[in-house]
Every structure is written in C-alpha cells, then in structure tokens.
C-alpha cells in the first residue's frame, strides 16, 4: 500500500522533516491497518504540514490544540489509529496544557514531537527547548530561559509510553514508532530534528559516528545500560536515588542498571531522562517507559454505554449522586 499522498512536499531543502516523513511512510504499511483507519492530526508549525503528505485521513488543526482534537477523535472512534504531529513550540508553549493532560489521561493517541529547538515557521524565534544563552531573532542577547526536557515533562505527566529517536536514525525511529503504535494508551515520541535554516547542526554531535558512540546511550530492554566505542561507560545508581554515568572499569559490570521500561514507578524512567543534558553530552535514546494502565477513551466510552443502557429512573439517581442504580 502506498501511504504517500500526491501533494508536493514543501519543506526547506535538507530539513529533517523529510527523513521522518520517509520513515513514517515506510513503517505505516507494516502496521497492517487500512489507510482510511489512520488519522494524523497536527497543530501549527513546519512539522504540522505532515498530514498533507500522507495518504491517510488528516487534519491540519489549531495551534497547540492537536492533542485535544485527537482526544475527541480517539474517544468517539475506537476503530481509528490516531496520531498527533507537533513541534517543540506547538506542543510545549501554546499547547503545553493540552499535551500534559492528554498524557496524564492516557488517551489512546500517539504523539510525534519534532524537537528542533527553534520556531521554524515563524522564522527563528527561541522555543521552550532552546538552550540558555541561545541567540535567536527574539533573544538577541541570548535566552535567559531554562529549557524543557520533553521526556522529563512527559514522565512528570505520568505518560505510559515515552521514547526518543533521531531524525536520521531510520532504524531506531522505526523501532520506537512501531512500539508506540502497538501501545494501548498515550505515547510520546520525541524526535530530534534538524532545522538547517534556523538552528542548523543542533544535533550533529549525535550524527558523527565517533561522537555518537560517546554520547548516545541506547536503551534496550533487558540489557545493561552501557555505551562508548568499546562499551567502556555505563549507567549506575547514584546516592540521590537517580542515575549517573560511570566508567565500567571503575565501578564493575555488576553495578550497571539493566534497562526495564515496564517499571511502574515513574522515578526510574525519570532518572534516565535526567542523565541527558542540553549539550547532548549524554543522550539516552529508545524507549524510556512502556507501562499499562486504563485509557481515558476506553473508560469514557464505558461510562457512555452505562448511561445509555440505564433506565430513566436510574439515570436520575446517577445525576443526583446516588450510586445504587441497576441496568437491565
């Protein structure tokens, strides 16, 4: 099946969005879903042109409000696979509130957060993920803001699936997206995406082979968390209840944590997210958290069904706060 639309793709030459689009167009057919049962909802921003380029249903919606629209869709149409495409400005600034509530509610939607650490569509203003001191058109003397860590934010909102991938890593991105697609509940996937026009090279240190070996910490379920060109570094617990990077030769292999994204306590995945820093010295990638809990849309539909099948007298009891009602 061809998931490419006939629309001309209109991003700047070299934009990381092309690679992500290509990856998504390649991986969607593997889900075995009909095109008419897939919907991509976007907000406003460069990445939000995404729905035009997929031969599925889609909606280029309102700035920051894509998670709210997707929530309504997922709740009323459980037969659909609902995806949100958003950027760091769209999701974390004007849409911050919608994002965190969609995540805490565990709505059955998959959110692709393209993080290029800049506003691209409006031509280069700093965003909620721009680093402190970053000079942009709206911060000529350098940003004084502390940036969000989107992974930590999602985990703080109790998101049940949280992952990160690089735009250029087709294999890694496909793995995370495939797991997200199969996850029942809300999934947030942060994608580091290069904007060659307004923030070129922001993630280049993760794309150079030698640098990547020293900086990227691959999270693989069931395996010790270690990295480096010869696996010489690893992640160990620290005295504050979090994690830190250590030389394996100094601490011993048995001290390394073994990755388990199914740990229910968010403190585990949150600790992993804090290893990373804005300078990308250490960058965990893969699936941080993947746990199961009831979804908002399933529970909301169950309540609707309960109300529909109730007798009028029982409904009255429900509305007046009495919980002793019966269903035929």
Q: Which residues bind ligand SF4 (CB under 6 A)?
A: 11-12, 15, 17, 46, 116, 120-121, 195-198
Residue nearer to ligand SF4 on the CB measure, 11 or 268: 11
Enter the tokens of residue 55.
């031969």
- Rounded CA-CA distance 250/267 in Å is 26
Residue nearer to ligand SF4 on the CB measure, 49 or 289: 49
Closest separation in Å from C-beta 200 to ligand SF4 = 8
Q: In 3-state terms, what secondary structure has residue 272?
A: helix
Residue nearer to ligand SF4 on the CB measure, 120 or 284: 120
Residue nearer to ligand SF4 on the CB measure, 192 or 198: 198
Classify strands 110-115 and 57-60 as parallel, antiparallel or unpaired: unpaired
Closest separation in Å from C-beta 17 to ligand SF4 = 5
- Rounded CA-CA distance 283/218 in Å is 8
Closest separation in Å from C-beta 203 to ligand SF4 = 13
Closest separation in Å from C-beta 10 to ligand SF4 = 8
How remote is the C-alpha of 292 from its chain's centroid? 16
Closest separation in Å from C-beta 162 to ligand SF4 = 23
**Nearest alpha-carbon partner for 27 in 99, 101, 81, 88:** 81
- Rounded CA-CA distance 318/20 in Å is 48
> Please, how many CA atoms are within 13 Å of residue 28, restricted to the half-sphere of its CB?
25
Closest separation in Å from C-beta 11 to ligand SF4 = 4
Q: List the end-to-end C-alpha distance of the chain, in Å, as a whole number.
A: 45
Residue nearer to ligand SF4 on the CB measure, 17 or 169: 17
Residue nearer to ligand SF4 on the CB measure, 119 or 270: 119
Closest separation in Å from C-beta 28 to ligand SF4 = 21
- Judged by phi (left if over 0) then psi (alpha if -120 to 50, else beta), residue 30 lies in alpha
SS3 content of the chain, % helix, strand, coil (to 5): 35, 20, 40
Residue nearer to ligand SF4 on the CB measure, 90 or 297: 90
Enter the tokens of residue 310.
């109730």
Closest separation in Å from C-beta 315 to ligand SF4 = 51
Q: What is the DSSP letter of 242?
A: S
- Rounded CA-CA distance 128/320 in Å is 44
Please give the C-alpha separations between residue 210 and each of 122, 125, 216, in angstroms, as whole numbers: 34, 31, 10
Q: What is the DSSP string of 14-37?
A: T-HHHHHHHHHHHHGGGGT--GGG
Residue nearer to ligand SF4 on the CB measure, 48 or 106: 48
- Cα angle 111, 202, 170; round to 5: 50
244 φ, ψ to 5°? Answer: -150, 165
Closest separation in Å from C-beta 15 to ligand SF4 = 3
Residue nearer to ligand SF4 on the CB measure, 134 or 236: 134
């Amino acid at each position: 099946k061809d998931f490419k639309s006939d629309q001309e793709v209109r991003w700047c030459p070299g934009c990381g969005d092309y690679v992500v689009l290509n990856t998504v167009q390649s991986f969607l057919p593997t889900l075995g879903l009909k095109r008419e049962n897939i919907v991509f909802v976007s907000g406003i921003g460069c990445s939000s042109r995404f729905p035009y380029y997929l031969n599925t249903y889609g909606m280029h919606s309102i700035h920051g409000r894509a998670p709210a629209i997707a929530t309504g869709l997922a709740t009323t149409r459980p037969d659909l696979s609902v995806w949100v495409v958003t950027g760091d400005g769209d999701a974390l600034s004007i849409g911050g509130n919608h994002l965190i509530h969609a995540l805490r509610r565990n709505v059955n939607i998959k959110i692709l957060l393209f993080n290029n650490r800049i506003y691209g569509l409006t031509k280069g203003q700093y965003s909620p993920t721009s680093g402190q001191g970053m000079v942009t058109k709206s911060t000529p003397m350098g940003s004084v803001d502390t940036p969000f860590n989107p992974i930590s934010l999602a985990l703080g909102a109790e998101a049940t699936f949280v992952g990160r991938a690089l735009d250029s890593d087709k294999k890694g991105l496909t793995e995370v997206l495939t797991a997200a697609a199969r996850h029942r509940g809300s999934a947030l996937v942060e994608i580091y995406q290069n904007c060659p026009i307004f923030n070129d090279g922001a993630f280049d240190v993760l794309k150079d082979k030698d640098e990547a070996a020293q900086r990227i910490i691959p999270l693989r379920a069931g395996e010790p968390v270690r990295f480096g060109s010869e696996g010489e570094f690893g992640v160990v617990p620290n005295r504050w209840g979090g994690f830190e990077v250590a030389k394996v030769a100094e601490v011993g292999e048995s001290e390394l944590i073994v990755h388990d994204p199914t740990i229910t306590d968010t403190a585990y995945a949150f600790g992993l997210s804090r290893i990373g820093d804005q300078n990308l010295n250490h960058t965990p990638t893969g699936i941080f958290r993947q746990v199961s809990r009831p979804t908002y849309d399933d529970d909301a539909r169950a309540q609707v069904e309960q109300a529909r099948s109730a007798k009028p007298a029982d409904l009255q009891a429900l509305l007046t706060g009495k919980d002793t009602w019966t269903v035929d």
